[in-house]
Amino acid sequence: MTTEDDGIEEGISRRDLLKGGMFTAAALSVPLILNPGSTSMSVAVKTTHITDVLVIGSGFAGTFAALEARKNGLSVTMVDKGVVGWSGMSPWASDSRPFDAEIYDRDEWQGNVAMNTEYVNDPRWLDIFMDESLGFFHELRAMGAHDTKPFERGTKVFRTELEQAGVSFVERTMITGLMQDSRKRICGAVGFTYDDSNEESKAVVLSASAVILCTGAGSYKSPGFPIWGQTFDGDAIAYEAGAKIVGKEFNDTHPTFAFAPAAAYEGWKWAQEVTGAYVMVGPPDKLVGGLTLDNALGAFSDGVERRLGMGPGGEPPPGPGELPPGAEERERNKKYLGKGYLKTSGLHLDMGGPPAPPPNDGSGPNLGHRVGGATAGMGVHKSEGIFCSDYSCAADGVEGLYAAGDALGSMLCGAVYPGRGFSSYGSAIQGRRAARSVIEYLKTAPSPNVTQQSIDALITKMWAPRENEKGYSPEWITATLQNTMTPFHILYIKEGRRLDGALASIEFLRQHCVPRMIARDGHELRMAHEVKNMLLNAEMKLRSGLYRQESRGTHFREDFPARDDDNWHCWVTVEDRNGSMAIGKHMLPDAWKPDPRKTYRENYPRVFPGENEFLAKRGINV
């Protein structure tokens, strides 16, 4: 790897402005505000790195991708929007569910996951997960990952492993575009350093023979869940380079708290306070334990219950003699205890079912009961992102581009997240798999060859919000995006006209406001690119949601409130076609469809509002 600085440092210091945050109020209240930090970025320093493999993102997927590529003698540069070891969702990853053939039944797992995810999951990816997850459990244990708290895992284990393997780090750098040669082959990426408290932002040019996107998922920076550093950046740069994106109509539905909607941490701190490996016992359940639409449907039918003691969606806690959700599953899973790898010492075993709400013992702040919608904009782990049709982790139609983890739309899960435990190990498995595909690709791939002109074009586009003298602040665009997309009647309880309305607003923001964004400093430039990516994702979600004229899993259409396997047993993809978003259907094998010998309701036990009536009108007996 070589590094060179070929620019000069210049420009006024904005340190004093940064400290005060004095323009925040103005940014929210004045039309077409002036950009107090407007400056020509043509003099910005440009740093160039050259590597065989560029890994973007350093969580579970990125770590195992980078280690595998280094093991095979390739030079690896890892670039991260944050800092390696603290990055992305990985500091939160707790649950795992390794498959052990000694104690579990493969067919039972396949059947349960298919039913829970409503038959649009990819059984081949689940096979890969079942083949490899126990190996990763042992590897992570050998590395020492099971001897840390979740937020320490990256700094104490992953970062050390990566340093010892000789991976180069480029940190606190946001990637804004992929470099492509004349044949559209991926040859690296460009980005910028946003921390300008000590020196001005720099352009970063990363030349590589192949790129692996391990950029995670995203949300609309909705207050209430620790995913906000992730804003679908991988989807966005891949889409702009010609990749297909899949699975955007499905939603994640994590809960938060009625009186403090930004306090989702309070529901997750149990994980951060304990050292060790969390293991889900038993197979994923057919129905419970997943992130279903129940909270949103509860809010839809009854409004939100604000009395204390109520559960998610407003229902009262179980009465005397009633079993709490998941009780049967927990009882059933006791038979696995003490068998197979569950004999390993020091594990924290979760017997299944939804996580219990934190106890309200009066010691902490009164947060109110749990409500849904904390992760507005996020899709189902492993079921949204860059489309790959052949299990290689290569982006369909874009040579030299690979993806893993939540950036890859592998459809390991389907229309619902089927119980916890697939995310972090799924990412690790896919990261290594992507690296192995890259190793094969690089045996014949040509060296990167990008014109200076195309690099300069990417950099000019990247700096634009810093140079615009007036326009719209990324903060205002973000708030407008949140207000458009987050309400339950747009994102979760869908209906054609409402989706059309939201789409018109999002399209306007993308077409009119994004080219006129202003950023007064490096921090705001990052926000500008993040909201640009979030808006692209919003359009994908609205178009995919409009296109799928049925209901399935976390995709509920009031105007089409039933599953329709004849027409919609498929994945929905979007791709760029001459500047417009083209939408497509990827039909799935008949063998993945629900059992035709069973009734509709046996195959689809969850009932959508209005579903039975809708089907009865069409003469379908549930």
Partner 1 sequence: MPIEKIHGCIGCENCVKACPTDVIRMDPESSQAYIAYQNDCQICHLCRLSCPVDAISLTPDKAMLPTTSWG
Residues 350-369 touching partner 1, rule: CB under 8 A, are: 365, 367
Rg (CA), the chain: 24
Amino acid residing at 346:
G
508 touches partner 1 (CB under 8 A): no
* Whether the Cβ atoms of residue 98 and residue 60 lie closer than 8 Å to each other: no
266 touches partner 1 (CB under 8 A): yes
Shortest Å distance, C-beta 352 to partner 1: 27
Q: Which is nearer to partner 1, 313 or 368 (CB)?
A: 368
Amino acid residing at 500:
D
Shortest Å distance, C-beta 294 to partner 1: 24
Amino acid residing at 30:
V
Angle at 48 between CA 66 and CA 88, to 5 degrees: 40
Shortest Å distance, C-beta 222 to partner 1: 9
| Strand 3-5 versus strand 46-56 pairing type | antiparallel
26 touches partner 1 (CB under 8 A): no
Amino acid residing at 123:
P
Interacting stretch for partner 1, rule CB under 8 A, among 160-168, 222-230, 490-498, 601-609?
222-230
271 touches partner 1 (CB under 8 A): no
447 touches partner 1 (CB under 8 A): no
List b or e across 190-202, with b for residues whose CB sees 16 or more CB atoms inside 10 angstroms. bbbbbebeeebbb
CB-count burial class (<10 Å; 0-12, 13-18, 19+) for 323: exposed
Residue from the set 77, 480, 537, 603 that interacts with partner 1 by CB under 8 A = 480
Q: Order of strands across the sheet with 347-350?
A: 95-96, 277-280, 347-350
User: Which phi and psi (to 5°) does residue 244 adopt?
Assistant: -90, 145
- Distance in angstroms (rounded) separating the CA atoms of residues 84 and 82: 7
Amino acid residing at 375:
T
165 touches partner 1 (CB under 8 A): no
Shortest Å distance, C-beta 169 to partner 1: 12
Interacting stretch for partner 1, rule CB under 8 A, among 233-241, 254-262, 435-443, 549-557?
254-262
Pair of tokens at residue 539? 């359009």
559 touches partner 1 (CB under 8 A): no
Residue from the set 48, 72, 160, 272 that interacts with partner 1 by CB under 8 A = 272
* Whether the Cβ atoms of residue 412 and residue 125 lie closer than 8 Å to each other: yes
Beta strand ranges found along 42-131 (DSSP E): 46-56, 76-79, 95-96
Q: Which is nearer to partner 1, 24 or 42 (CB)?
A: 24
Shortest Å distance, C-beta 226 to partner 1: 4
Shortest Å distance, C-beta 24 to partner 1: 6
What dihedral do alpha carbons 360, 366, 368, 371 form, nearest 10°?
Answer: -90
Residues 173-212, one symbol each (x = binds partner 1 by CB under 8 A, - = not), give: ---------------------xx-xx--------------
Q: Which is nearer to partner 1, 272 or 612 (CB)?
A: 272
Pair of tokens at residue 273? 């306070």
**Total site size for partner 1, rule CB under 8 A:** 55
Shortest Å distance, C-beta 93 to partner 1: 13
Residue from the set 45, 228, 336, 601 that interacts with partner 1 by CB under 8 A = 228
DSSP state of 291: B
Interface residues with partner 1 (CB under 8 A)?
15, 18-19, 21, 24, 28-33, 82-83, 85-86, 88, 91, 149, 151, 155, 194-195, 197-198, 221, 223-224, 226, 228-230, 257, 260-266, 269, 272, 365, 367, 472-473, 475-476, 479-480, 482-483, 513, 523, 526-527
